[in-house]
Structure formats: C-alpha cells, structure tokens
Amino acid sequence: MIALEEIRQISVASPSKIVMLVIDGLGGLPHHKTGKTELETASTPHLDDLARNGICGLSDPVSPGITPGSGPGHLALFGYDPFRFAIGRGVLEALGIGFKLRENDLAARGNFCTIDSQGLIADRRAGRITTDKCAELCELLGQIQLEGVDLFVQPVRDHRFLLVLRGEHLPSEVSDTDPSRTGVTPSVALATKPEAKHTADILNEFIGQAEGILAGHRSANMILLRGFSKLPHIPSMGEIYKLKAVAIARYPMYKGLAKVVGMEILDAKGGIEQELRILADCYSEHDFFFVHVKETDSAGEDGDFTRKVRVIEEVDSALPKLLNLKPDVIIVTGDHSTPALLKGHSWHPVPVLLYSRWCRPDKAEGFSESACVSGGLGRFPAVDIMPLAMANALKLTKFGA
C-alpha cells in the first residue's frame, strides 16, 4: 500500500472530477430461495451499464475477515489506512452534529438509559426517547458544574447525546462506563493509563451529578458513556490529493467522517434524488464528491432483504442525474457489507465499480458480487480505491524517476 506522504508528492490539481457514490452496507449474501444477493436481485440497468463500460472488483475495507465499523470503513474509502488513523466514537458523534471540537477537547458518546431500583441497567437506550426529550435532558445535564472544566452536553438523536469536556490535561485513556449489556450496573470510568486518572475522576463526578439530576425521570434516569476520544491529527484530502472535496450526506456520522478528512459538508435532507440534485448544484465548485446513501445499510441491519433491494433500485433509477454530469471518474461501492441475512455489518468484501474513460474494462456484464469476483480490479484493500480514482482522473504523476 502506498503511504499518504507518497501520494501527496505525486498528486496534482486538475479540472477533472471524481464522484464517489457510497452505498452504505452495499455487499450482501445470497437469499436462500434464489441464490442471489440484494444487489444481484435488484434491477439495476444503469449500474449494469456502467459496469459493462467500467472495471469491477471486490475490496476489503480493513482486512479479510474483519468487519469494519463505519469509521474505519469510510476512512479506508477516503484512502486513509484504518489501522493508522483511528477515530474515537465520541469524536465521531461530535463531528456528526457539527460541534466545533477544539484540539484538546475530550468527547464521549452518551446514551440515556434506564436503571431499575437496584441500579441495574434495564434498557441501554431508555426506551429510545425522542430527540426532543433528549435535548431537554441534555440541557439539564449541561448545568452541571465541574472544577476547572467547561462541559457541553448536546443531543444527537433519540437517546444518544454528546458529552464534551474542555479543560487542561484531560487525556482520553479512560474505559467506557457502558457495559454493553443489561442486568448489570453501569461501570465506573477507569484510567487505562496513569496520566488519565484526573479525567476518570472528573467523569465519575459528572456521572454522579447526572444520576442525581435524572433520578426523577421515568425511563431516562441514568447515562452511559463510551468512546472517550480526541480529534485525531489527519492530513486533509486537500493536502494529500489536492482535491476540493465535498460530502453530500444526510446522517451525522458520515458528515463527521468527511469533515475529519477536511471535506466541505453539504447537508442533504431527502434521499438519493435530492442528494444528486445537490451534486448538480455544487458540481462546478468542487472536484471530488462523496455521496452517501444510508438506507441500504439500515435495511440490511433490519434484516429486510426486500427493502435493501428496493433502495438499491432507487439509487439505480436516480443514477442518470449523476451520469448526465459526465464525471471523469465514477466510483460506486460501499464502506462494508451489511447482508440482510446477518442483520449487521459483515466482513464480506464489497463490490467496487470504477468507471472512467481510462479504465481498462473487464468482462463484467453487470454490477454484482459474483461479477466482481472475476472483475479486473481483483480483490484489493479499500485504501487503494482513492489512488485508483486519482489515477483514472489523471491527477497522479509518476512515482519515482
């Protein structure tokens, strides 16, 4: 794998344009009745046509056999080695809701939860309270006073919130208080490195005060914190690729991930149709476009094979809007597989389609997992997708003399 520093040295700015369409959780597993995956079941005339004129393959987001979270999955797509660049869950949440994290801020992902009269966790999601209710409770918690530390408590969605501590010397090496199961008490925050003792003490103090404040509330009477983390130092896509990159996405996490690699963020409210309208609107101002479709992953996570098929078909129907812009390079792929059969992210390699005037087309007659097995891109790590896109956009000069 080529390192970012080497890419930086050979990348050049140019007018050519790259569109990366990420269909979240795209890869699937065959339905037992038909032997076809979601992508193979869907009627996708435009994607198939693009595959016939392009080159296909299968990529491993992290490493063969490894199921990626959304963070590593997307970092790899943007060309960042997910082993080298890790983004904590707290930071992801902060970026996702547009919270302006400062360099030394400590961020955590919070859940409102329900504890029973013995203090045992009965529901890790507090019955999925509404976002409005969440906002109301966050405002209460935001009034907690901690010595030498400013704190911010912001609602994310449903029962989820963001906690940010701003102060001196707050190393993030602290264990989660969310035990990830019910029937036990919330864990105490513990320093996993000696220098984080102070952070752990402050967090436990915060949790104690929060429990007092929430005591009267019916379902959301306690909090769980996890993913204590700080902004990572990641060189931007502008620095590395000399791209003016923009993200068109609807969900906080993906906007956050794009932001951490320096993309401009354009808020999408509707589905793929609206995202592609935004793409058309901003097309002249950028040269790299990350378009994110979330619903395939949600359908996969829900185990809804048919819905995942339908979302893929919706994307395919909308595709002409993208094709009409005639981007120099089009990448269609996912950040990982989410087979409806497994109801969750999986380790299966992800179909990749690359179209450009300069690709060497293979024999793929359509866009599907099975066609990708024998595609010209072979099986390769997802971090190689960006160098391939850059090359096909003629934005990379020679390596070495």
Distance CA 273, CA 313 (A): 12
Number of residues that bind a second copy (CB under 8 A): 64
CB of 377 to a second copy, least distance (A): 8
Counting other chains too, the contacts that 143-149 makes at CB distance below 8 Å and 24 or more residues apart are 143/213, 144/206, 144/209, 144/210, 144/213, 146/202, 146/205, 146/206, 149/202
3-state secondary structure of 372: helix
Return phi, psi of residue 400, to 5°. 80, 160
Is residue 25 within the footprint of a second copy (CB under 8 A)?
no
CB of 93 to a second copy, least distance (A): 9
Residue 401, burial from CB neighbour count under 10 angstroms (0-12, 13-18, 19+): exposed
Question: Looking at 122, 213, 231, 391, which residue binds a second copy (CB under 8 A)?
Answer: 391
106 sits in which H/E element: strand 106-115
Q: Which part of the chain contacts a second copy (CB under 8 A), choosing from 13-21, 216-224, 312-320, 343-351?
A: 343-351
CB of 90 to a second copy, least distance (A): 9
Site for a second copy in 345-384 (CB under 8 A): 345-348, 358, 360-363, 369-370, 373-380, 384
Give the pair of three-digit tokens for residue 28.
């699937």
Distance CA 24, CA 341 (A): 16
Residue 348, burial from CB neighbour count under 10 angstroms (0-12, 13-18, 19+): buried
In the shown chain, the binding pattern of residues 196 to 235 toward a second copy, with x for contact by CB under 8 A and - for none, equals: -------------------------------x--------
Q: Which is nearer to a second copy, 14 or 219 (CB)?
A: 14
Question: Looking at 77, 153, 156, 389, which residue binds a second copy (CB under 8 A)?
Answer: 389
Q: Which is nearer to a second copy, 9 or 185 (CB)?
A: 9
| C-alpha dist (Å) from residue 24 to 73, 109, 250, 336, 337 | 10, 22, 12, 7, 8
CA angle 292, 101, 261 (to 5 degrees): 40
CB of 74 to a second copy, least distance (A): 10
Question: Looking at 14, 16, 53, 69, which residue binds a second copy (CB under 8 A)?
Answer: 69
Question: Looking at 25, 68, 96, 252, which residue binds a second copy (CB under 8 A)?
Answer: 68
Q: Which part of the chain contacts a second copy (CB under 8 A), choosing from 65-73, 161-169, 186-194, 321-329?
A: 65-73
Do residues 332 and 21 lie in contact, with contact meaning Cβ atoms separated by under 8 Å? yes
Site for a second copy in 80-139 (CB under 8 A): 82-83, 86-89, 92
In the shown chain, the binding pattern of residues 27 to 56 toward a second copy, with x for contact by CB under 8 A and - for none, equals: --xx------x-------------------
- All residues at 6 or more sequence positions from 173 whose CB lies less than 8 Å from its CB, including other chains: 191, 192, 193, 195, 196, 199, 228
CB of 199 to a second copy, least distance (A): 19
Q: Which is nearer to a second copy, 82 or 366 (CB)?
A: 82
Nearest to 319 by CA among 18, 15, 19: 19
Q: What is the dihedral of CA 297, 303, 304, 310, to 10 degrees?
A: 30
Question: Looking at 64, 119, 142, 320, which residue binds a second copy (CB under 8 A)?
Answer: 64
In the shown chain, the binding pattern of residues 248 to 267 toward a second copy, with x for contact by CB under 8 A and - for none, equals: --------------------
CB of 236 to a second copy, least distance (A): 19
Count CB-CB contacts under 10 A for residue 280: 12
Give the number of residues written for the chain. Answer: 401
Q: Which is nearer to a second copy, 82 or 300 (CB)?
A: 82
Question: Looking at 134, 237, 247, 390, which residue binds a second copy (CB under 8 A)?
Answer: 390
Count CB-CB contacts under 10 A for residue 396: 20
Across the strands, what pairs with 109?
162, 226
Q: Which is nearer to a second copy, 295 or 369 (CB)?
A: 369
Distance CA 310, CA 340 (A): 13
Site for a second copy in 300-339 (CB under 8 A): none
Question: Could you list the residues that contact a second copy (CB under 8 A)?
Answer: 1-3, 6, 10, 29-30, 37, 58, 62-73, 82-83, 86-89, 92, 227, 341-342, 345-348, 358, 360-363, 369-370, 373-380, 384, 386-392, 396-401
